[in-house]
Copies of this chain bind each other. A is one copy, B any other.
Amino acid sequence: MASSSSSAAVEAQVEAVRTIKASPGASQFEMDTAVESPEGLKLEVTARQEGVNNNENGATSGLSNDALRQAVVNILERRLFIIPSFKIYRGVSGLYDYGPPGCAVKSNVLALWRQHFVMEENMLEVDCPCVTPEVVLKASGHVDKFTDLMVNDEKTGTCYRADHLLKDYCKEKLEKNLNLTPAKVAELNHVIAVLDDLSAEELGVKLKEYGITAPDTKNPLSDPYPFNLMFQTSIGPTGLNTGFMRPETAQGIFVNFKDLYYYNGNKLPFASAQIGQAFRNEISPRQGLLRVREFTLAEIEHFVDPDDKSHPKFANVTELEFFMFPREDQLAGKSARKICLREAVSKGTVNNETLGYFIGRVFLFLARLGIDEDRLRFRQHLPNEMAHYAADCWDAEIESSFGWIECVGIADRSAYDLRAHTDKSGVPLVAHEKFSEPREVEKLVITPSKKDLGLAFKGNQKMVVGALEAMSEKEALEMKATLESKGEAEFLVCTLGKTVVITKNMVSISMEKKKEHQRVFTPSVIEPSFGIGRIIYCLYEHAFHRRPCKSKDEQLNVFRFPPIVAPIKCTVFPLIKSPEFDDAARSIAETLTKAGISNIIDITGTSIGKRYARTDEIGVPFAVTVDSTTSVTIRERDSREQIRVDIKEVVSVVKELIEGQSTWTDVVTAYTQT
């Protein structure tokens, strides 16, 4: 349980800011928390950075979070960006399809990811299976610890997430019950704040204390017990070989470390990357697209010498400045603020250069995608949120109508993962630093005399030998000094639970000089892990705008996707129905297709305004309108400006715009507007 002082700080924030975190329980990126055993409390609700408010700044002003979400999800479903999976069979909660435009957006995001990370950083991309044998996930800790706490309706057997029920109860009380005493309010807020850190027993006690019953039936509930979130299956026909659908892609990289290190010429640092499906059998998925049972992850494992976490390209990102939310500021109840990356690393706010470099690269990636920089922050994990082995951890959080969403986790996981697989597999996953010439090192050598110890301690000999060999350098040198001055020394043997007397003949302790030709060590791993579906959902909300419709009172929807993300890059419209214009339009569309530019041709003769509106709604950035057979207009979606270009040039102009070689402003300047 949390100490009272830090939980008080958290409660202060809960009351002060009321920004609800996206993920009430184990999120896609809380695996670390699930696998570790956090000792303190978890900050559940975090402060909103000042001056950043979707409802005040954007073109979406006036829309409440609920209205924004409804408007966006309405387009997403109506225009088939997403489809609830297996809809004709009433669907399965937590499973969604990407329909045609959604699928194109996803492809574009992944292509940009590959270019921005794999290509520009020379990463070694791998592609491993989803089906994973038990031993791998036993080593990683998932088999034992990747769980959520569950309760059952004692009569119907219906399953609920225990923390959800407790949280819902507390929130409802706080919202509806105006007669609560200040003490009660504080208590309920405290429960919400420490929810993620409650043990099964503590959760059970609270559920009983508050008389919480099954929401659907009001039946009594079972005690909470852990439910493993992995989809289990069986590999091969015997039923004896348990397998799981991987809950993350990272393990596929760790188990290949040895081969990848060899591939990289046995040199550090290097990074490996993987894009692929991951699976989590959520107890009761809520929050639509943000909490799903199958999703695409893009993960990077950057292996680095633990003694040298500098990064050769750090200088490229030092001047970046964006919203960061360091641990200290969170605990002090402050807001996120813009910090320069150079300063964050030099002051030690961010643990090391490599971690800082990746934070900068993630920022650039999200900005290139079209995430609003003012609704993006990097939040540092509080000590209790981090795994015990982690050196530092930052989440890229994006603000959406659900609150702040963890979309990318960037963690320095130290040597934990490679050590775990080394231990379990017996294959050393280590790196070597060859010295240019052998180095002389002093090493402590403890040599117990088993004969003398046996005579003195008989059956306890083994325990004493073990304790002597396990002494630290400091302890050993102290004992050496004592033995030399007094001939004997008192020595606590923990495994015996008592102190024994060691005499000079029982052990020889010395510092010996040895020549070493290389250093063998387990690399540290820095892991940026991207929840692609979450990033895409936030992108939809940030790209969403409304503008007044000329003719009517309604508002028109626009997705202001950057060209690189837009599912369809260009439309081709003959202005009026005419065989000549239709032919010209078809020929332009064909050339666009050959050039790899996705396009829609619409020769329906619907009014041009309607055709624009229809394609603005799915975010098509450029529209070519054919109103002559020699020159055409190109219209830009956001400014609604048009330029006139020769029909022979249209594809090359659009291609330049799409690939980012020219901006719209460049093109407007280059072509006289008519």
Tell yes or no: A95 within 8 A of B by CB: yes
Query: What is the interface size of chain A, counting residues whose CB is below 8 A from a CB of the partner?
Result: 76
Contact A125 B97 (CB under 8 A): no
Interface-facing stretch out of A231-239, A321-329, A508-516: A231-239
Q: CA of A83 to CA of B596 in the docked complex: distance in angstroms?
A: 33
Mark A395-433 against chain B: 1 for CB-CB distance below 8 A, else 0: 000000000000000000000000001001101010000
Interface-facing stretch out of A252-260, A382-390, A554-562: A252-260
Contact B234 A231 (CB under 8 A): yes
Contact B245 A86 (CB under 8 A): no
| A426 nearest CB neighbor, chain B only | B88
Tell yes or no: A446 within 8 A of B by CB: no
**In-complex Cβ contact of A263 among B100, B281, B284 (8 A):** B100
Tell yes or no: A593 within 8 A of B by CB: yes
Contact A255 B87 (CB under 8 A): yes
Contact A89 B255 (CB under 8 A): yes
Tell yes or no: A80 within 8 A of B by CB: yes
**In-complex Cβ contact of A227 among B132, B237, B421, B427 (8 A):** B237
Mark A85-96 against chain B: 1 for CB-CB distance below 8 A, else 0: 111110011011
Q: How far is the CB of A356 from chain B (nearest CB, A)?
A: 22
Contact B89 A133 (CB under 8 A): yes
**In-complex Cβ contact of A100 among B126, B150, B596 (8 A):** B126
Q: Which residues of A222-247 are within 8 A (CB) of B? A: 227, 231-238, 241, 243, 245
**What residues of B have a CB within 8 angstroms of the CB of A126 in the complex?**
83, 97-100, 103
Tell yes or no: A120 within 8 A of B by CB: yes
Q: How far is the CB of A470 from chain B (nearest CB, A)?
A: 27
**What residues of B have a CB within 8 angstroms of the CB of A85 in the complex?**
128-129, 252
Contact A103 B88 (CB under 8 A): no
Q: CA of A126 to CA of B227 in the docked complex: distance in angstroms?
A: 32
Tell yes or no: A159 within 8 A of B by CB: yes
Tell yes or no: A605 within 8 A of B by CB: no
Tell yes or no: A127 within 8 A of B by CB: yes
Contact A98 B127 (CB under 8 A): yes
**What residues of B have a CB within 8 angstroms of the CB of A594 in the complex?**
120
**What residues of B have a CB within 8 angstroms of the CB of A124 in the complex?**
99-100
Contact A237 B159 (CB under 8 A): yes
**In-complex Cβ contact of A596 among B119, B125, B227, B279 (8 A):** B119
- Which residues of A are at the interface with B, using a C-beta cutoff of 8 A? 80, 83, 85-89, 92-93, 95-100, 102-104, 106-107, 114-115, 119-120, 124-133, 135-136, 150, 157-159, 227, 231-238, 241, 243, 245, 252, 255-256, 258-260, 263, 277, 279, 281-284, 293-294, 421, 424-425, 427, 429, 593-594, 596, 598
Q: A85-B129, A158-B238 are in contact. List 10 more A-B contacts (CB 8 A).
A: A80-B259, A80-B260, A86-B133, A87-B256, A89-B255, A92-B131, A100-B125, A107-B125, A130-B279, A231-B234
